[in-house]
Amino acid sequence: MTALLHVNGVHKAFGTNPVLRGLEVSLEPHEVVALIGSSGSGKSTLLRCVNGLESIDAGKIMLGDVEVSALDADLDVVRRRVGIVFQAYNLFPHMSVLANVTLAPIRVLRHSRKQAEGAALELLARLGLAEKARQYPDQLSGGQQQRVAIARALAMQPELLLLDEVTSALDPELVGEVLDVIRDLKAGGMTILMATHEMAFAREVADRVCFLDRGRVLESGPPGEIFENPAEPRTREFLDRFLSG
Amino acid sequence: MSASGDLIEGDAPYIDPVRAAALHRRSLRSSVVATVSTVVFLIAVGFATVNAPGWASVRYWFFNGSAFRASVGSVASAFLLNVKIFLVAEVFILVLSLVVALIRVSTAPVLMPLRFVATVFTDVFRGTPTLLVVYLLGFGMPALQIKGLPNDPVIWGTIALVLSYTAYVAEVFRAGIRSIHPSQRAAARSLGLNVSQTMRFVVLPQAVRRIAPPLLNDFVSLQKDTALVSVLGPIEALRAAEIYSASKFNYTAIVVAALLFIAVTIPLARFTDWLSDRQERRDRGTAR
Amino acid sequence: MRRLTLVPVVALLAAGLAACSAGNVGAAPSSASSASAAPSDCTPAAMQTYTSGMLTIGTDTPAYPPYFENNDPTNGQGLESALAYAVADKLGFAKAAVKWTVVPFNSSYAPGPKKFDFDINQISITPDRAKVVDFSEGYYTVNQAVVTLKTSKIANATSLAELQSAKLGAQVGTTSLSFITDYVKPGAQPYVYNDTNDAKKALATGQIDGIVVDLPTAYYITAAEIDNSKIVGQFPAQEGPTSEQFGMLFAKGSPLVKCIDWALASLKSAGTLKTIQDQWLAGADAPYFKQ
Ligand SMILES: Nc1ncnc2c1ncn2[C@@H]1O[C@H](COP(=O)(O)OP(=O)(O)O)[C@@H](O)[C@H]1O
Ligand SMILES: [Mg+2]
């Protein structure tokens, strides 16, 4: 099996509310997969489960040949291999941009400060944030903050990047700068699993699109197929609603 | 990779000079008005006090020049004990209360017994009047006659203050820790930081900033409560003042002690204000 | 006990600071009253007491033996209770016309009108105090004494020099405390307590080597309160800073002083004062310290 990520029959409920119901999805290395689906369909929950922020009730999540969902899994190790970027950025407000990006390399990977800062500055420059290194999150625009959050995740050199609606909180004119970054990441060969409402973007960059419906992947396939000729009526319904709204 | 969105970067800020001058005048006018009204208020209060029918007698009893001069030396040197107790107690309180708070917010099952102890500790010491704790430890512990236990009332009084205030301050810490949004924790954990690294580098620094004003508030209060140690025998400022007052039948020495307490409290209070203002500005997301 | 009752001080600070430099002295002490024949205005009807027809007497609580018994001033037992009733009787107040009120030591000399006719609470007469209150003639000449545990290092001290290295304690506001600082002058600062009970606790737990109290109190403590204690010795009053007497405390300029003084003088000459002292302070004796 060559899959980098394999989510196998995962169930997850919050109390009496089943959110994931036997969900299946897998990613090959360098693959970009977009998760679409209406709000509440379980996209964020899936991403949080993959990175161990939520535990699952049944099924299996494999990262390479490591079982993330095992009860005795070392999640700290798993999380070093999987980066996640949140809709609300979740930057550390008491730290400068540079400190946000270097915190984990220094504390988790035990890189020297010098080494970590060098790498971070390079990364920030790549993301167009070179001048912002010494500033604090509340001095940045939303788009800049989200790019810092991406830089922070990339600084750990993850094998897999999870993006959870990273443009939903942004003003429309700031969305582009973040999408540019993701485009570049794909070009660089990064494996990405992203929940998104940017259908045009998903269509452009995703190798595969999965439509989530009530905790299951109802339908998945190449973007052209899903967007133009969905097999499931519910997918069609969702897309119609989305494209008209 | 584009770096759009920084449209006006590089341009110098432009402020209309006429408008700037008007703004400057306005702020000048505000400070003049503030100063004048403060002075007028103080003069009015002073005038009303000095012209009260009993003022002469109050001045004799509380603001007696010769009693002031005669007592200020002994009260001020006794005040050093207050300062010493305060400084020592503060260090221990900060460390211990942080430990208690961390135990109380921990979730590890092995810490269950410690959590229980920490909860009982805060309940008991926060609920007991500090004076009683001072009495109980100061007279009770030496009464046990345990070998190796200190006998010095200053030590026991300080320990009592530490226990009492640790219970308070631990709750302040705990509230601060709990006020940090879980998403901050999730972000830190998602980067591979473990529980204690997350606490140390992400949660605590933010919590401490947030609780600095109430924390300082407790320390101002601690500064005053150092006077409680006097019931065990040591002569601190308030006691020195009391001794002077009782032997001369004049309360001026107590005013002297009050002035000393105020003198160290005011800088702490202004610092607290400054911190709160800064916090508020930050929370509103404007200047930093 | 003798806790401070602070009048709102802070509001007055601004104005008061300036006033401090001005320096001010209250009324001068009144001329000493004399105990001549019964003045005609010293009857319950003529005396301007706090409650007319009644004699209101203040003392602190707890009221300690041997000056009071069972913390109850109204039972007529103990030196000061017995004396107060004898004075009242002399002036024609029936027992029922005597009313006791609690006056913490610190508020006994507070400015403003007093809520008592006189306060009797082992208050030593000193010139400083007499500037702001009036005192009756002394009713007991008091010697200071040192009490310690039999096991203490100062248990067998016979001279002042042997007390130099001792940690001594006393109650705040007492002349016992002034006695330590002004007369004994030990190397260590004295330990000062809110009341004699706290001082006794500190002695019993070994936090201090000895406490200084007036001799009758010392006698009572050793005889009835702390098992293992003894009086190390007493200091003759005349060797102290002043010859020390207990007096009743009055508002400055109180017209009642001369009536009480007259009653005290009568009790003294009739031998009643001596009888009361002997009854309640019997056995209060101890060796004198050598210089
Ligand atoms: N921590 C939580 N506690 C309880 N319910 C939750 C929690 N997180 C998500 N849910 C619920 O799970 C469902 C799926 O949420 P989510 O995964 O965020 O959906 P999506 O990201 O697709 O909009 C929703 O009904 C939401 O209310
Ligand atoms: Mg979501």
Angstrom distance (rounded) from CA A148 to CA A120 = 10
Of the candidates A30, A25, A32, the one whose C-alpha atom is nearest the C-alpha of residue A6 is: A25
> B284: pLDDT confidence band, cut at 50, 70 and 90?
low
Based on its alpha-carbon atoms, the radius of gyration of chain C, rounded to whole angstroms, reads 20
Measured from the CB, is residue A40 less than 6 Å from ligand 1?
A: yes
Report whether B64 contacts C24 (CB < 8 A).
yes
Angstrom distance (rounded) from CA A177 to CA B217 = 46
Instruction: Give the architecture-level CATH label for domain B84-234.
Output: Orthogonal Bundle (1.10)
Question: Given a cut of 80, is residue B7 above it in pLDDT?
Answer: no
> CB pairs under 8 A, 24+ apart, for B142-146?
B142/C205, B142/C206, B142/C207, B143/C201, B143/C204, B143/C205, B145/C205, B145/C206
CA dihedral B259, B263, B265, B267 (to 10 degrees): 160
Identity of the residue in C6, C19, C110 whose CB atom sits nearest the CB atom of B59: C19
Count of CB pairs separated by less than 8 Å, A with B: 87
Q: What digits encode the pLDDT tens for the residues C207-263?
A: 899 999 988 889 888 888 888 899 998 887 654 455 788 999 999 999 999 999 999
Residue C153 CA: distances (Å) to CA of B145, B273, C158, C212, C233: 17, 54, 12, 16, 14
Six token digits for residue A99: 């400190």
Whether residue B143 and residue C205 make contact (CB cut-off 8 A), yes or no, is yes
Whether residue B143 and residue C204 make contact (CB cut-off 8 A), yes or no, is yes
Question: Touching B: which chains, 3+ CB pairs < 8 A?
Answer: A, C
Angstrom distance (rounded) from CA A84 to CA A137 = 18
Mean pLDDT of A85-100: 94
Q: Starting from the edge strand earliest in sequence, which strands make up the sheet with C168-171, in order?
A: C191-193, C168-171, C210-214, C144-149, C229-235
Would you list the domain boundaries of chain B?
A: 84-234
Angstrom distance (rounded) from CA A12 to CA C148 = 76
Q: Tell me the ligand closest to A46's alpha carbon.
A: 1
Which residues, in sequence order, are bridge partners of residue C148? C210, C230
**A130 falls within a domain:** no
Q: How many domains are there within chain A?
A: 1
**A119 falls within a domain:** no
Sign of torsion, CA B90 B96 B100 B103?
positive
Whether residue C4 and residue B242 make contact (CB cut-off 8 A), yes or no, is yes
CATH node for C144-234: 3.40.190.10
Which pLDDT does position B287 carry in this prediction? 38
Identity of the residue in B49, B235, B254 whose CB atom sits nearest the CB atom of C15: B49
* Neighbouring C-beta atoms of residue B5, cutoff 10 Å: 18
Choose the residue to mutate in A7, A10, A12, A14 for probing ligand 1, maximizing ligand atoms within 8 Å of C-beta. A14
Q: Does domain C26-140+247-281 have CATH number 2.40.100.10?
A: no
Six token digits for residue B79: 């005040």
**A151 falls within a domain:** no
Matching fold, domains C26-140+247-281 and C144-234: yes
The ligand 1 atom at the shortest distance from the C-alpha of residue A47 is 17
Domain extent at residue A223: 5-91+158-244
Asked whether A and C share 3 or more beta-carbon pairs under 8 angstroms, the answer is no
Which residue is closest to C24 within chain B, CA to CA? B60
ipTM of the modeled complex: 0.91
Mean pLDDT of C97-103: 93
Query: Can you give the CATH number for the domain in which A55 is found?
Result: 3.40.50.300
Six token digits for residue A127: 């993301």
> C37: pLDDT confidence band, cut at 50, 70 and 90?
low
Distance from CA of B151 to the nearest CA of C (A): 6
Angstrom distance (rounded) from CA B187 to CA A53 = 9
Report whether A95 contacts B184 (CB < 8 A).
no
Ligand 1 centroid, distance to A45 Cα (angstroms): 6
Count of alpha carbons within 13 Å of C14, Cβ hemisphere only?
12
**A230 falls within a domain:** yes
Whether residue B65 and residue C172 make contact (CB cut-off 8 A), yes or no, is no
> B195: pLDDT confidence band, cut at 50, 70 and 90?
very high
Which residue is closest to C192 within chain B, CA to CA? B233
Q: Which helix (H) or strand (E) holds B87?
A: helix B65-105
Angstrom distance (rounded) from CA A127 to CA B101 = 40
Taking CA atoms only, the protein residue closest to ligand 1 atom 24 is A40
Whether residue C24 and residue B239 make contact (CB cut-off 8 A), yes or no, is no
Question: Given a cut of 60, is residue C18 above it in pLDDT?
Answer: no
% of chain C beyond a pLDDT of 70 = 84
Report whether A33 contacts A46 (CB < 8 A).
no
Would you list the domain boundaries of chain C?
A: 26-140+247-281, 144-234
